[in-house]
Amino acid sequence: MNMMKSGAIGCLVTILCFFFFFFLSFTSEIHTDRLIRESNRSQFSLLKLHETDNHVHLDNGIVKLTLVKPSGTIARVGYQETENVLDNRHKETRRGYWDMVWVKSSTSQYDALHCTSFNVVAQTEDRIEVSFTNTWNVSHGENVVPLNIDKRYIILRGVSGFYSYAIFEHLKEWPGVHIGEARIVFKLDENMFRHMVISDDMQREMPTANDRKMGRTLDFKEAVVLENPINPALQGEVDDKYQYSCNTKDNRVHGWISSESNVGFWVIRPSDEFRGGGPLKQDLTSHASSTSLAMFLSSHYVGVRVRVRNGEAWKKVLGPVFIYLNSENNTNNKPNALWEDAKRQMLKETKKWPYDFPASTDYAHADQRGTITGRLLVRDSYLNRGRTIPAKSAYVGVAAPGYAGSWQRESKGYQFWTQTDETGSFIITSVRAGKYRLYAWVPTVIGDFKHEFNILIEPGSKVEAGDIVYSPPRNGPTLWDIGIADRPDPDPTLVNKLFINHTDKYRQYGLWERYTDLYPDQDLTYIVGKSDYRKHWFFAHVNRKVGKFYKPTTWKIIFDERNVMRGANYTLRLALASAQCANIQVWINDNPNGNLPHFETGRIGKDNAIARHGIHGLYWLYSIKVAGVKLLHGTNTVYLKQSLRFGPFNGVLYDYIRLEAPPT
């Protein structure tokens, strides 16, 4: 046989075979896909909805949800053999529930958001969604929060958990309302759930409610020293729910593990859009007495409530969040298998966002959203020879139109954030229709960026913002600066062991008194060129405890300057990471005793980050002009005094301080 020919035939056969197999694999893929879907369907039980006088039962064969009618609270979450993972010792309305704190003429009111009517809003082979509503009217009086509440619960076929979301609505003609907190609380069965997980390195065995009750209360009721805990390993530790706070951007899943039954209970937040305050807003997660929270709105670490005014129409969809249950029967498996699985589930839920199943018309589906793309650059006239460079790993987001940084205090609307890549490029996806302003901040660069135009998003919008340049505040070259400092070790008698070797050791209790311990009579003095901010800068400017009282402290920054330009202006930049009822006064070379300050911030801040073990609350930036005549040839001193002294928690956390020479 002719070698050429057989070669050609061989080739043809190969091609034919290729097509044949291609065809085969293609069709079989479609086929198996359908088979899998069909077998999934038959493999998963049918959804069941059963209503009695006082209850509604939702059951997908994996999870059994018992809701109280018409309040809309969760009495039972059944999973596998466990009839209820929630704590049966509590009333049916106090096991799993939405609630709210709001303000009526300056007093805080608690509202359990009990509803008055029940409806099935969707019931198909694949999903059931129920709704509990409360419709407000004037006859409810001023003790009921003036909002329409619609609480939803969803179960899906074959899904190991359930979803919940709510719609809050305020009509124009109603009295205004200030919301301090809105959340879902899950009180889990303490006998089952003792191991709490917030992140890979924030997890531990937790005290019970009774352990806390038997403990000694510290400077505020949330902080307790455990004196006789049921688990002797916890003896003498401090417990405080605020130690387990997390930045919104770092907390998409948290929950509890029952080591005995190998069951996990997880709160998964697939999107941050409905949480106010941006990526660095901190909030509670899970805490002692086997409690897991889904926080939606709060003034924690910000100090600002959601303010809906008289005459303002407002509506917001909170959620859905996903409550995921998992189990591991093979006890030889890795101890963290449930947590690893919960993280994988969180990624799956995040990918599915926006969900396609919520039935409320107020919930914006994928086709009702838009995207924004662009590239963020930074131009600092005294860095990189004034060249424009990409803003790497910058945070870029859209929120309600306002001033630069206003998103920190904003939670009435929705916010959408992302981070830029190496080239400064960003894409913000799934933005609900509405009017926004684009904001950004760049790690290691001071100040806040605000774009010059509002952005209007309509369903399907693809907005190209193009190249955007941020020119941070800058008047002249840096003479010196003081960066971020670390927090000192805690009082050894008031430790939470979790944070002993932890990078977040600032979560330890008692920052406000450590200053007194470290600087018992002499205040902090920082010498530019000699001191190291990592070691010699106590980043929290708090009061000193003297006997029973708290006294203001005055810090000194000493620097040498040989070529003072007396006819020109210098700029002192003071960036604060938090403030709690504080007033920072600044003197340049003048003695603070007997001279008016050169500058003062005035009374600022109520983010309470110092008491709540935060490393930051709200960001403040002050640019202070210093006339050259104020400076001396030789040694100069900047004095910083926090002048308010109501108690232990007044103070600021410094982020960054810089002195700029006059423009060149």
Ligand X SMILES: *[C@@H]1O[C@H](CO)[C@@H](O)[C@H](O)[C@H]1NC(C)=O
Least separation in angstroms between CB 356 and ligand X: 27
Nearest to ligand X of 386, 567 (CB atom): 567
Which stretch in 107-115, 136-144, 168-176, 347-355 sits in contact with ligand X by CB under 6 A?
Answer: 136-144
Q: Which of residues 530-589 bind ligand X (CB under 6 A)?
A: 568-569
**Please, what is the end-to-end C-alpha distance for the chain in angstroms?**
88
Give the residue with the Cβ less far from ligand X, 567 or 634: 567
**Which among 193, 159, 188 is positioned nearest to 58, based on CA atoms?**
159
**Binders of ligand X in range 480-499 (CB under 6 A):** 497
Residues 6+ apart with CB under 8 A from 159: 60, 62
**Residues binding ligand X: what is the number (CB under 6 A)?**
13
Distance CA 569, CA 230 (A): 64
Q: Give the DSSP per-residue string, 257-299.
A: EETTTTEEEEEE-S-STTSSS-TT-EE--EETTTEEEEEEEE-
| Residue 480 structure tokens | 């010196």
Nearer to ligand X, 194 or 437 (CB): 194
Compute the distance between CA of residue 101 and CA of residue 94 in angstroms, rounded to an integer. Answer: 16
Could you tell me the two tokens for 399?
């929120």
Q: How far is the CB of 570 from ligand X (least distance, A)?
A: 9
- Given candidates 105, 106, 107, 501, which one binds ligand X under the rule CB under 6 A? 501
Taking the complex as a whole, the smallest distance from the CB of residue 627 to ligand X amounts, in Å, to 6
CB of residue 470 vs ligand X: minimum separation in angstroms?
24
C-beta of 207: minimal distance to ligand X in Å?
16
CB of 62 to ligand X, least distance (A): 8
Identify which of residues 80 and 199 has a Cβ nearer to ligand X in the complex.
80
- Give the bridge partners for 68, in sequence order: 55
- The nearer residue to ligand X, 263 or 463, going by C-beta atoms, is 263
500 binds ligand X (CB under 6 A): yes
Residues 342-361 that bind ligand X (CB under 6 A): none
Q: Is the dihedral of CA 260, 261, 264, 265 positive or negative?
A: negative
Q: How far is the CB of 625 from ligand X (least distance, A)?
A: 6
The nearest distance, CB 237 to ligand X, in angstroms, is 10
In the complex with ligand X, which residue's Cβ is closer, 40 or 137?
Answer: 137
Of 85-93, 132-140, 481-489, 554-562, which segment contacts ligand X by CB under 6 A?
A: 132-140
Selected range binding ligand X among 134-142, 219-227, 445-453, 591-599, rule: CB under 6 A: 134-142
CB of 505 to ligand X, least distance (A): 11
Q: 207: cis peptide before it, omega within 30°? A: no
Residues 398-437 that bind ligand X (CB under 6 A): none
Of 107 and 330, CB closest to ligand X: 330
Hey, what are 344's tokens?
């994988």
Q: Are 386 and 375 in contact (CB under 8 A)?
A: no
**Residue 503 within binding range of ligand X, rule CB under 6 A:** no
Residues 315-334 that bind ligand X (CB under 6 A): 327, 329
| Complex with ligand X: residue 139 or 522, whichever CB lies closer | 139
User: How far apart, in whole angstroms, are the C-alpha atoms of residue 142 and residue 564?
Assistant: 63
- Closer to ligand X at the Cβ: 46 or 500? 500
Q: What does the DSSP 8-state code read for residue 90?
A: S
Which two three-digit tokens encode residue 362? 């107020």
Nearer to ligand X, 54 or 137 (CB): 137
Contact residue for ligand X among 106, 139, 493, 593 (CB under 6 A):
139
Cα distances from 660 to residues 10, 143, 653, in angstroms, run 78, 54, 21
Q: Which of residues 604-633 bind ligand X (CB under 6 A)?
A: 625, 627
- 57, 80, 112, 559: which one contacts ligand X (CB under 6 A)? 80
C-alpha triplet 531, 532, 533: angle, nearest 5°: 115
When the beta carbons of 611 and 631 are compared against ligand X, the nearer one is 631
User: At closest approach, how far in Å is the CB of 116 from ligand X?
Assistant: 6
How far apart (Å, rounded) are the C-alpha atoms in residues 241 and 106?
25
Minimum Å distance from CB 63 to ligand X? 12
| ω into 490 cis (within 30 of 0) | no
Minimum CB–partner distance for residue 23 and ligand X (Å)? 37
State which residue, 113 or 306, has the beta carbon closest to ligand X.
Answer: 113
CB of 433 to ligand X, least distance (A): 30
Q: Please, what is the minimum distance in Å from the beta carbon of residue 155 to ligand X? A: 17
For tokens 């999973």, what's the residue?
79
In the bound complex, what is the minimum distance in angstroms from residue 139's beta carbon to ligand X?
4
Residue number, 204 or 281, with CB nearest to ligand X: 204
> What does the alpha-carbon distance between residue 396 and residue 378 come to, in Å, rounded to a whole number?
13
- Identify which range of 135-143, 243-251, 280-288, 298-306 contacts ligand X by CB under 6 A: 135-143
Closer of 135 and 444 to ligand X (Cβ): 135
Region of 12-20, 133-141, 306-314, 513-521 interacting with ligand X (CB under 6 A): 133-141
Is 298 within 8 Å of 182 (Cβ atoms)?
yes
d(CA 426, CA 468): 11
Give the contact letters, 177-216, x = binds to ligand X (CB under 6 A), - = no.
----------------------------------------
Cα dihedral 620/626/632/637 (nearest 10): -20
Q: Where is 21: in which H helix or E strand? A: helix 3-43
Q: For residue 70, say if its preceding peptide bond is cis, omega within 30 degrees of 0.
A: yes
Q: Least Å distance between CB 662 and ligand X?
A: 7
Question: Which uninterrupted H or E stretch holds 252?
Answer: none
CB neighbours of 465 closer than 8 A, spacing ≥ 6?
A: 372, 373, 374, 438, 451, 455
Cβ count within 10 A of residue 438: 25
Answer for the pair 643, 557: CB distance below 8 angstroms, yes or no. no
- Asked whether 478 and 461 are in contact (CB, 8 A), the reply is no
Contact 611, 580 (CB under 8 A): yes
Residue 463 identity: V
Q: Which of 43, 45, 137, 217 binds ligand X (CB under 6 A)?
A: 137
In the bound state with ligand X, the residue whose beta carbon lies nearer, of 96 and 476, is 476
Is 229 exposed, middle or buried (CB count within 10 Å of its CB: 0-12, 13-18, 19+)? buried
Within residues 245-264, the interface with ligand X by CB under 6 A covers: none
Q: Which is nearer to ligand X, 42 or 501 (CB)?
A: 501
* Sites of contact with ligand X (CB under 6 A): 80, 137, 139-140, 327, 329, 497, 500-501, 568-569, 625, 627
